[in-house]
Amino acid sequence: MAAAGIMPRRRSILGLGAAPALAIIFSYAFFLALAIGCFALPVIIFWSGVMRDHKVSAVFLSVFGIVAGTTILWSLIPWRDKSKVEGIPIDMARETRLRAEIEYVAAALNESMPREIYLIPDANALVVQPGGLVGIGSRRILGLGLPLLATLSVSEFRALLAHEFAHFYTGDTRFTPWLATALKSMMLVYKNLGGESPIGPQLARPIVICLVVCLPSIMIPYILLVIGLRWYWAKLIRLTFILYRQQEFRSDEIACHVAGSEAVIEVLRKLPHCGAGFHAYLQCVVRPLLSAGYQPRLAQDFAAFVSTPQNQRAGAAALEKRLRIKSSRPFDFYPPLALRIERARLLGSTVSECSRQPALSLFDHLEEWEAKLLRKLAPGIEEMKLKPVNWDVVAAEIYLPGWRMFIERFVPLLLDKTVASLPELLKNLGPIADMVLHPPGRILRRSQREEQAVSVLACALGVSLVDHGWKFVVRPGATCIQLGSYRLQPHELVDALRSGTTSADQWQTFCSEKQISQYPLARNVRARQPDLYDRWFPDLGT
């Protein structure tokens, strides 16, 4: 595989970083001078003769000077970076195709390979250089998010890699840790001087009393100093976040050069969809399967989950919401997605080699890494022997009983209702919503309780049809009720009735055609299984 032409090395990003770097250096110098001044305060008080006339205030101010000076110096110590990547290491000696793709991108930017490559449970990717002191003597680490990989092609994966390697290329991973460590030290100075240190709260009250009663002339300079420090801190943070956003723009530009603008734009557009869908996937697919002793196929099932029509619409809505943001806010780490896409499109970079093969096809031992990552996510299953997933069995053993248990609490309200009465029930959700329990530690709004009531009716419809011969079909992210070749999705149908997309007359016609009008929405069922119920619905109360 031939590498792309090496990207011309531009150092403009370092020029942009000079301003916050100089500000950080000035901040260190200023706070060191302030610490020296605090230590000098007892000496000044002693030689100025204040001790003779104001003994109490002089003692408190002297102690305060020593404590404040020590606090400042302690806060400014650049501690060793001990951050960890939350994932599992990939043995690259066994993943030859994946290694070849990463080496291709590394060669395109004339960069060395990362020392460690991790598979992470995040809809993103990352590069870090932990270890060492303020970034010096650190090691390169690349993290690849499995959920995002599940949705990318090989060309898009190359664009993702190029963006991350660009942070190595421009020196971000060497410069940014130093900047972040310095900012953290500045923040600790403010926090510890503001009373969050163990000694500060004990000294605060007597010091204020002495300043007000004995030395009121010191209060005005002190207040001005605090206001000035707050103003300086806010400006410094704003400047630093401008640098972070420019780093992202520059990395996008480099990725366009290596992998082409089209691939970069596709990755950017998929990020909101994956981010919004992964948490729902863990809750709706992974958690129920694990609770029943099944081993989810993390990547394959997530790809199927986000590709369902319902999740495609949710992803499109999440993307549209992000694209409506046209300008950066002062403390945004990333630039607006719309601006990143616009800049990538204006570059118009193209590449000769393009592969639409799934990025997961680069893995030779994906199932092994998935299993290890799953045990990282859920340590309690380490000793369990998980069964492979058979979705027909899973539907009957997990999801259908789960629906029955979900509606069990509401059966008394639905016993005399039929499938044909759904439009009427949707017009008056009050009685069902009133029975929805608040999760532990939360108070649901009325609209949230009504959404739960809509879900109750959808599940009741599905269970009623299954009890009359329809088949319960489950796939990742999609549940439908099937009779012959006809498929019905209860939640989408109920949502359509509620919104008016499907009218009450159309529903009555449909019920007559399918001969389901008189099916009862609920019937008395056996007592629930508490263990299964609690694993499925721990947030719904009991």
Dihedral (CA of 489, 490, 496, 502) sign = positive
pLDDT the model gives residue 434: 93
* Beta pairing partners, 478: 475
Can you say how many angstroms the Cα of residue 502 is from the centroid of all Cα atoms in its chain?
Answer: 36
Q: How far is the C-alpha of 217 from the C-alpha of 73, rounded, in Å?
A: 27
Max CA distance (Å), the chain: 102
| 480-500 CB burial, b ≥16 within 10 A, e <16 | bbeeeeeebbbbbbbbebbee
pLDDT the model gives residue 440: 82
Q: How far is the C-alpha of 19 from the C-alpha of 360, rounded, in Å?
A: 42
Q: Which long-range contacts (CB under 8 A, 24 or more apart) does 239-244 make?
A: 239/19, 239/20, 239/23, 240/20, 240/179, 240/183, 241/330, 241/331, 241/332, 241/333, 242/16, 243/16, 243/17, 243/19, 243/20, 243/179, 244/176, 244/333, 244/334
φ, ψ of residue 327 in degrees (nearest 5): -135, 150
Question: DSSP string spanning 269-283?
Answer: HHHHHHHHHHHHHII
Both tokens of 421, joined, read: 């009465």
Could you give the 3-state DSSP secondary structure of residue 463?
Answer: helix
Q: How far is the C-alpha of 189 from the C-alpha of 332, rounded, in Å?
A: 23
Place of tokens 């029930």: 425
Residues 389, 295: contact at Cβ < 8 Å?
yes
Q: Residue 477 — left, alpha, or beta (φ > 0 → left; ψ -120 to 50 → alpha)?
A: left
Could you give the 3-state DSSP secondary structure of residue 29?
Answer: helix
Residues 151, 175: contact at Cβ < 8 Å?
no
pLDDT the model gives residue 2: 42
Could you give the 3-state DSSP secondary structure of residue 471?
Answer: strand
DSSP state of 515: T
φ, ψ of residue 534 in degrees (nearest 5): -65, -35
Q: Are strands 88-89 and 116-120 parallel, antiparallel or unpaired?
A: antiparallel
Please tell me the number of Cα atoms within 13 Å of 6 on its side-chain side: 9
pLDDT the model gives residue 480: 92
Residues contacting residue 409 through CB under 8 Å, at least 6 positions apart = 435
Residues 20, 236: contact at Cβ < 8 Å?
yes
Tens digit of each residue's pLDDT, the chain (542 residues): 444 455 555 555 556 556 666 777 787 888 788 788 878 877 776 776 655 555 656 666 676 677 777 877 877 776 655 567 788 999 999 999 999 999 999 999 988 899 999 999 988 899 887 765 545 666 889 999 999 999 999 999 999 999 999 988 887 777 676 677 777 777 777 666 654 544 444 444 444 545 444 444 445 555 666 676 677 777 778 888 888 898 899 999 999 999 999 999 999 999 988 888 888 898 888 888 888 888 888 899 999 999 888 888 888 888 899 999 988 888 888 999 999 999 999 988 888 777 789 999 999 999 999 989 988 888 777 667 888 888 989 998 889 998 999 999 899 999 889 999 999 999 999 999 999 988 888 888 999 999 999 999 999 999 999 999 999 999 998 889 999 889 999 999 999 999 999 999 999 999 999 999 999 998 765 544 444 434 444 443 33
